[in-house]
Structure 1
């Protein structure tokens, strides 16, 4: 009897849930996966437009350390959010429970990002360190909020190299306030949708992992997802309506912007003293923008509905700081004071272009900028930067649909689009080759468009950092040193010019008495996209550009050119590449190179052509000529 009791006790201590064992996983889900979502249950209740209850239970098996981040054992909350419950349960490879974290075991910290002065955002998390792989984690949470402006989106595949056995998302709602929803990329997956009078349920099963592929569009552009929006909603207790973008913009203007634009009389007088009646609106705006950049700095402020409502312009004026909303609104107020109209604008700011979803009205975006009407177009102002030139649209804001808030309501418009020829880098150099293999060069580079973004920061760097930048850029030049650096940052034309004196004690190499010289001294492309056995994603070139190089290369005395390379011209759908080397009468070589890369999205089957294009360029850029010793 005693033996039976001990056996039963041993069984209970080491009992396991067979369904959570990694051995039960289908090979279709483990193939190319770092983690597998075993079961995900999400219920969102917005039957009251002023309250949202979200319940989640997510069980995931992590196969290796690359899948740890997919556990997502954390919650964000603020003063308008109540975490009713949160748990994390850890199981070993065979489904035996080994850890159970309750709410009291979670760390509770402020979300400080180094730029925030005020924030009521907090993070609740568990820092679980796995002892072995695979393991399984179940994360359970229940959260209540008085914000229904942001309904949780459904992503049945959370990211690259993560598969899903089952995911269910159910939304409960008031039939009088039925949410709109937008389905994207569901067609190729086993996903079922059931709609009722007061609820809608999405069920996904057996979704294989998506592998990362270089130069593919951003993940959310092709991954399955559903986003939602209520016509009547609450933003941290402030009720809103948004049946159309026009109506939504009117609500923003009335509830979020109204009453925030007042400026002190002294500031109004000061800013008006800097402009004259003869100035155009654009010239006045230039003056205002410079005033802004000289006066304020960016610091995030996020309390109450501060995530969306700007801090009053009078406070920005007094404190000389603010976040993107506050600084945009402050600039708008200054422009209004000198009689220049402008529109508060919300967008997704990211180096990967992301549009507002035009056929689903909901709270969107993560950044604010300002639009100044200029005929049929707009001049865009990034108000958080103290050094971006007036009207220059950086790569994080260009070519995307954004929401402008006008007196007539909201409108979706597109920000500036750069053409390939706009993003120009022109390199010119006079290069002297010595018989020791040393080079001495006067180098000039002019950058425009989005290529301006890559270099304009250099004139604010220390000399040490400037030299480090060039050594890293020209890491293929042995012993490179930059002895003189002169910059010209033309903020009006948005052109950055670099004038340098460059030396390298052993740029060339020797074959006996003869010398080997790479003609492309300052702009060698060495990147070749990786090979894929089977390409499945489209090829995206996110930024088009044009590089033009012209070098005058003076050869060392006592050497003659054995032969020059033939002219090269490569033209395809991705762009073009040409090089030419001409021996001039004074025995110098004029080397010219032009590379054009076209922005665009191309079919998957073109990837090898794209890769070969770069491969050819890299080979030609590194090619050398032989200088024969007389």
Structure 2
């Protein structure tokens, strides 16, 4: 039935899998109920495509899996195996951080095959009673995957209208009338070759064909809502959680006393935020109107835990008790997650912050964090749109963006060299904001021994011993970490006769990037992690009687992507090497990729600089 030999040659080029047939049918019965059926057939060409031999479907008390079947075929289309009930696992998403969770998953996977190609077919049908969410159709869902035929069908009943947004689609929707007076919507994608993501390419959403859908009216567990604009979503969320921000009188009096001598809003917010961090902890709670209704603040006051909704609502209640107004803010969170589609209002959020307008600024509080200063959002929720929740209906605003000068790494190193090239090094590194975030998980999530193992993997020196170390968080409104290391480095410098070859950059080498092997298609995208400023000051104590054979000329490299400078000076028996790098995030034309490669190649070469010392 599914002969691999019939796949067009153009669809196997650069592909690990070929989608032979993928049909998603979403049939809306009413504002509160729908059925979704997904029929997929994928031919797997090599072992890098084996992950597609598995399917996972989630469900909870608002959704039910009514069908999950599968068939495995060999390359000639012969049936090898059909899924049995015993082949389907059913498990909870419960984990240590998920204290309450009614979400479950069904998982089915065919065994690894001894030869390629082979084909897997799955049929999944679910009934849905949480129609806040309609499907997003992404038929070409992964890199190195081609598509032979894919179809997306949505049927709306009379009186309900579908909202949709097409991205990167070669064609537009086909409309036809349904028998009951409703409407059929059909999208197709045919013979789409596999693509390989280019390095430093924009997010996949900007390249992949996709159709986003959403309701205009919906119902979930007796709550009805409209979804025509962002204000509608804000009003619905507000109504869903209205009246759940009350706290006990004794707690109200306690926070009032805590902030009694504070005259500014920012001062009150900082004290309340520290109180929150000291008194509560984060757990995931996926309950209540599809996971969108919060636990009451009074319950959080007693239990001392909550998820992002509950802790945000609780903090809002604490601030309200001391006369500070704050608003929940829905956000699409995650490092590298795309921003919400600002022109397509929908419930594509996965997290909640708290927005606090103040006299000087607007603060966003990450209420699930036990260690961030008040107002810091980081790359997880920074530089994106959030939806403010207000009684009258809120609006989209942006969270803070951190500039290169905000994300610094300042490193000072003292190195003592021997004639044999061995060295001891004392290193002090100070990091702020996004650069500090690299230390958060090791600092707060790892034991002392685990921290040491993390450092040993992180330090890129070929041969060294870590004699001692410390990592500590620096107090203040700007998040910062100081790391100190004591190292013994074997054969860091290379002796040769009367000469000693000394590499200058101990820990901060910035490597090159891969050149393009074919004409660049996509823009050059440098994300938030490329907004930084690094400085290294390294002082080498050179063995007695050694003097430099030549001087290192100062070097400056400048481009639209950033600036690099390095110079070295000799002061008696000391060599002082100073290196600075400033990088800028941004979007650049595809034609600039060769310039990006050249800039990184120049920087990488400069970072490998050595000085030669000769014994007199």
Shift of 1:311: 1.3
SS of the residue 1:199 aligns to: strand
Matched, 1:516 2:472: no
Alignment match of 1:342 (pick from 314, 322, 326): 326
The normalised TM-score by structure 1 is: 0.92
Q: Within 5 A, what are the aligned runs for 1:68-83?
A: 68-83=50-65
Q: Comparing 291-300 with 265-274, which one deviates more in the overlay? A: 265-274
| Partners of 1:482 and 1:526 in 2: CA distance | 27
| Partners of 2:308 and 2:289 in 1: CA distance | 14
2:578 is matched with: 592
Q: Within 5 A, what are the aligned runs for 1:149-548?
A: 149-186=132-169, 189=170, 191-197=171-177, 198-255=183-240, 257-276=241-260, 278-305=262-289, 307-375=291-359, 377-457=361-441, 459-460=443-444, 461-483=446-468, 485=470, 487=472, 489-526=474-511, 528-529=513-514, 531-543=516-528, 544-548=531-535
| Partners of 1:245 and 1:98 in 2: CA distance | 50
Q: CA 1:129–1:488 in 2, change beyond 3 Å: closer, same or farther? A: closer
Shift of 1:394: 1.4
Q: Comparing 127-136 with 454-463, which one deviates more in the overlay? A: 454-463
| Partners of 2:551 and 2:604 in 1: CA distance | 18
| Partners of 1:360 and 1:140 in 2: CA distance | 30
1:6 is matched with: none
Given that 1:62 and 1:136 are in contact with CA atoms closer than 8 Å, whether structure 2 keeps it comes out as: yes
Q: CA 1:269–1:429 in 2, change beyond 3 Å: closer, same or farther? A: same
Matched, 1:617 2:600: no
Shift of 1:355: 1.5
SS of the residue 1:223 aligns to: coil
Given that 2:160 and 2:217 are in contact with CA atoms closer than 8 Å, whether structure 1 keeps it comes out as: yes
1:14 is matched with: none
Q: CA 1:142–1:495 in 2, change beyond 3 Å: closer, same or farther? A: closer
Q: CA 1:356–1:520 in 2, change beyond 3 Å: closer, same or farther? A: same
Q: CA 1:565–1:121 in 2, change beyond 3 Å: closer, same or farther? A: same
| Partners of 1:196 and 1:594 in 2: CA distance | 62
Alignment match of 2:112 (pick from 114, 118, 130): 130
Given that 1:310 and 1:329 are in contact with CA atoms closer than 8 Å, whether structure 2 keeps it comes out as: yes
1:7 is matched with: none
Segments of 5+ residues of structure 1 without an aligned counterpart are 1-16
Given that 2:546 and 2:613 are in contact with CA atoms closer than 8 Å, whether structure 1 keeps it comes out as: yes
Shift of 1:504: 2.1
Matched, 1:114 2:77: no
Shift of 1:340: 1.1
Given that 2:471 and 2:481 are in contact with CA atoms closer than 8 Å, whether structure 1 keeps it comes out as: no
| Partners of 1:473 and 1:41 in 2: CA distance | 45
Given that 1:192 and 1:202 are in contact with CA atoms closer than 8 Å, whether structure 2 keeps it comes out as: yes
1:142 is matched with: 125
Shift of 1:291: 0.9
Matched, 1:63 2:48: no
2:180 is matched with: none
SS of the residue 2:395 aligns to: strand
Deviations 1:81-107 (A, max 9, x none): 122222111111111112122556422
Matched, 1:101 2:83: yes
Q: Within 5 A, what are the aligned runs for 1:26-37?
A: 26-37=8-19
Shift of 1:486: 6.4
SS of the residue 1:416 aligns to: coil
- Aligned-pair Cα RMSD in Å: 2.0
SS of the residue 1:529 aligns to: coil
Deviations 1:522-572 (A, max 9, x none): 322235336533332222111211111122322210111011222211111
Given that 1:353 and 1:399 are in contact with CA atoms closer than 8 Å, whether structure 2 keeps it comes out as: no
Deviations 1:78-131 (A, max 9, x none): 111122222111111111112122556422111224321111111112121132
Given that 1:90 and 1:138 are in contact with CA atoms closer than 8 Å, whether structure 2 keeps it comes out as: yes
Shift of 1:151: 0.6
| Partners of 2:261 and 2:428 in 1: CA distance | 41
Q: Comparing 454-463 with 298-307, which one deviates more in the overlay? A: 454-463
| Partners of 1:274 and 1:440 in 2: CA distance | 49
Deviations 1:345-400 (A, max 9, x none): 11111111521212112111111111111347421111111112221111111100
Deviations 1:573-601 (A, max 9, x none): 111111111223x2422211111111012
Given that 1:390 and 1:491 are in contact with CA atoms closer than 8 Å, whether structure 2 keeps it comes out as: no
Given that 1:356 and 1:403 are in contact with CA atoms closer than 8 Å, whether structure 2 keeps it comes out as: no
Shift of 1:477: 4.8
Q: CA 1:148–1:376 in 2, change beyond 3 Å: closer, same or farther? A: farther
| Partners of 1:483 and 1:111 in 2: CA distance | 40
| Partners of 2:319 and 2:467 in 1: CA distance | 44
Deviations 1:17-75 (A, max 9, x none): 2xx10000001111111111111121111241111111221111111122122345221
| Partners of 2:549 and 2:274 in 1: CA distance | 56
Given that 2:419 and 2:495 are in contact with CA atoms closer than 8 Å, whether structure 1 keeps it comes out as: no
Shift of 1:148: 1.3
Given that 1:120 and 1:304 are in contact with CA atoms closer than 8 Å, whether structure 2 keeps it comes out as: no
SS of the residue 1:360 aligns to: coil
Shift of 1:507: 1.9
Q: CA 1:545–1:47 in 2, change beyond 3 Å: closer, same or farther? A: same
| Partners of 2:205 and 2:344 in 1: CA distance | 16
Matched, 1:607 2:587: no
The normalised TM-score by structure 2 is: 0.94
Deviations 1:445-493 (A, max 9, x none): 2212211212355554544344434433332252243435364522433
Q: Comparing 525-534 with 365-374, which one deviates more in the overlay? A: 525-534
Segments of 5+ residues of structure 2 without an aligned counterpart are 178-182
Aligned length: 607
Deviations 1:393-416 (A, max 9, x none): 111111001111123312111000
